[in-house]
A and B are shown apart, each in its own frame.
Chain A
């Protein structure tokens, strides 16, 4: 397809057929972009990327604070310290997986020509983040249950 397009473009240039040359250029532009989001849509993408990054930062910060609190309060030999360290890791991981998901949504705003590709990539990475979050929340619940049982 690309070969045919390039050959037609070359012939059009050779024959000085500016109309065909222009038509090929326009068609090529439309075909390669698929869909270009408007300025208004880009604001939404920007907001989604910002919210995901903010949530990621807050969760990582939350994990660090849980860790600090555990190191101050729990005795070094207690199982509660280990449980709290694990909770801190799970909360932080939940935050970290949101950063790669936010990146393609940001790229929709900054780049041109492959908006749809970036959107689908963003949702694929968000899908992965959702899977990781599910596992992390389940593990945190297990730890909470163990903590409650141990009193």
Chain B
């Protein structure tokens, strides 16, 4: 059975997504790097370090599926398998991002309580 092939219009969505994912991964990655470096230099509180790590990983998570989306546009006959590979990577990476973000949010609570 042949795989579904995305149309020209549908490919345009992936093309735009690839372009924007590249930009956002660089921006988030740089933000993560600067936040992590600021923690190393200034040692404010642990939340800053967790946020820095979260941003670095989110940047990586945004960058990883780009190749699969590119393959959807450029190759034919395996659009659905490339799509599913990209989605599996997003699902796996975003779970880690969820966990780091959760730890980061929880670490703010003692700081707020301490300041009350």
B94 and A51 contact, CB distance less than 8 A: yes
| Chain B hits for A10, CB < 8 A | none
| Chain B hits for A48, CB < 8 A | 87, 90-91, 94
- A138 is an interface residue with CB less than 8 A from chain B: yes
- Bound-complex Cα distance A23 to B108 (A): 63
B90 and A68 contact, CB distance less than 8 A: no
Given contacts A47-B91, A48-B90, A51-B95, contact A138 B13 (CB under 8 A): no
Segment 91-106 of B: residues with Cβ below 8 Å from A: 91, 94-95, 97-98, 101-102, 104-105
- Bound-complex Cα distance A116 to B9 (A): 12
- Bound-complex Cα distance A51 to B35 (A): 24
B4 and A44 contact, CB distance less than 8 A: no
- Grouping DSSP codes into helix (H, G, I), strand (E, B) and loop, the B interface class, with mixed when no group exceeds half, is helix
8 Å CB contact of A72 from B13, B88, B115: B115
8 Å CB contact of A116 from B10, B17, B55: B10
- Bound-complex Cα distance A95 to B34 (A): 21
Given contacts A55-B94, A123-B17, A134-B27, contact A66 B88 (CB under 8 A): no
Please give the distance in Å from B44's CB to the nearest CB on chain A.
Answer: 11
A34 and B4 contact, CB distance less than 8 A: yes
Which bracket fits the contact residues of A? 35 or more
Who on chain A is nearest to B94 by CB? A51
Who on chain A is nearest to B10 by CB? A120
- Bound-complex Cα distance A4 to B116 (A): 73
- A137 is an interface residue with CB less than 8 A from chain B: yes
- B40 is an interface residue with CB less than 8 A from chain A: no
Who on chain A is nearest to B23 by CB? A134
Segment 40-78 of B: residues with Cβ below 8 Å from A: 55, 62
8 Å CB contact of A127 from B3, B16, B80, B104: B16
Who on chain B is nearest to A66 by CB? B108
Sampled A-B contacts (6; CB under 8 Å): A58-B105, A59-B101, A65-B105, A120-B10, A141-B31, A148-B38
Which residues on A are within 8 Å of B, measured CB to CB? 34-35, 41, 44-45, 47-48, 51-52, 54-55, 58-59, 61-62, 65-66, 68-69, 72-73, 116, 119-120, 123-124, 126-127, 130-131, 133-134, 137-138, 140-141, 144, 148
